[in-house]
Amino acid sequence: MKQRTHIKETWIKSGVLITILIIVLFGIFTSSPTGSKLNLLDVHIMNEIAVHDVILLLLMGFISGTIGGALGMGGGVVKIANLHLVMGFEILFARIIS
């Protein structure tokens, strides 16, 4: 019976995570900077990031999280280096968004 409860908890956690991801991605791709209450940084970022950049950022996040988890450290170290070297962000900005 305990194993069955564990399976239900796993499905509930996975469902909540997927729901949150869908809501966030929907908000990213459907919001328009004009007329909405976005701050200046959000408008600056959303106007300059293309779809292929979003895909590259998601892929980099997944890879850096996997490497960071496998090495027993956070993925931020890998993310900052990739954001600076691959995407060309300033090092301070890369530290903030990692």
The string of pLDDT tens digits covering residues 46-79 is 566 677 877 888 888 888 888 888 888 777 788 8
Percent of the chain topping pLDDT 70: 70
In degrees rounded to 5, what are phi and psi of residue 65?
Answer: -65, -40
The yes-or-no verdict on residue 40 having pLDDT over 70 is no
pTM of the predicted structure, to 2 decimals:
0.46
Q: Which two tokens stand for residue 46?
A: 């959303």
In degrees rounded to 5, what are phi and psi of residue 77?
Answer: -60, -45
Average pLDDT for 20-25: 83
Q: Note the pLDDT of residue 67.
A: 83
Q: Label residue 20 by pLDDT band (50, 70, 90).
A: confident
Task: Enumerate residues 6+ apart whose C-beta is below 8 A from 68.
Answer: 74, 75, 76, 77, 78
The yes-or-no verdict on residue 97 having pLDDT over 80 is no
